[in-house]
Structure formats: structure tokens, C-alpha cells
Amino acid sequence: MPITIYHNPKCSKSRQTLELLVKQGIKPLIKEYLKIPPTADTIKEILKKLGYTPRDLMRKKEDAYAEHNLDNPALSDDDLIGLMVKHPILIERPIVLANEKAAIGRPPEKVLEIFNQNSKSKKLI
């Protein structure tokens, strides 16, 4: 399975995470999720790998969060996921997927935790 990063090139943490991966000899598949948003099913899979709820994956300080009243507890998980598909700026970034695991690059070094010594990937620091 290729290593994937959901990347926003305008985000410093996303750029730092990508740079960290490249320095480790990893050439990830780069998905600029603001240009091509992930599907609802993809977001559900990412949430499962992270062990997150949809709210855990949302950037609560984005204007779209307030504009759509996303702090409303009556909104279902499917409602929140649907809004992340329509407004991908709401998705926390960067997200790295590898070895059937996922991590948010905040801080960037956090993504190194999903690589383990038993994987076929190059051993990381």
C-alpha cells in the first residue's frame, strides 16, 4: 500500500510533514485534498484508522465551521462528514496514511509513529 499524505501546500505543518517524509526517503502519494476532496467513504476510513470522531477531524477555527453551525450537537456524524466533503478546508491537516494506520502531522514528527519496524518500509528514526 502506498504511503499517502492529504496535503495543503499553503499549510506550514503540511509542508513540514511532507519534507520530513521525503528526508526519511519516503515518496508519498500527495493528495491535495482542497483541489480534490476525499469522498465520504474515504473520510470514514480515515476516521476509523485514526480512531477519531468526525468532530475530532474538524478544524473548528475555520470560518466554515461557524458558518454552518457545526458545533450543533444535533448534527449526525454523516452530516459532519458530508460537510467535510463539501468544505474540505474543515479537515485537519496533514493526514498521513501508511501500514493501514493514519496520523495527523501536528507536530509533523507525530506521523513517524505509524511506521513500525515490522513493516516493509524503511526503518525510520
Beta-sheet pairing, 4-7 with 95-98: antiparallel
Domain 1-33+93-114 matches domain 39-91 at the CATH topology level: yes
The pLDDT, as a whole number, for residue 99 is 85
Catalytic residues: 11
CATH architecture of 39-91: 3-Layer(aba) Sandwich (3.40)
pTM (2 d.p.):
0.89
**Domain limits of the chain?**
1-33+93-114, 39-91
The pLDDT, as a whole number, for residue 25 is 93
Binned average pLDDT, 10 residues per bin, the chain of 125 residues: 93 97 95 98 98 97 96 97 98 95 96 69 41
CATH among 3.40.30.10, 3.30.2350.10, 2.40.50.140, 3.60.20.10 for 1-33+93-114: 3.40.30.10
Question: What is the identity of the amino acid at 70?
Answer: L
The pLDDT, as a whole number, for residue 8 is 97
Encode pLDDT of 101-117 as tens digits.
999 999 999 999 998 64
Grid cell 501546500 is found at 9
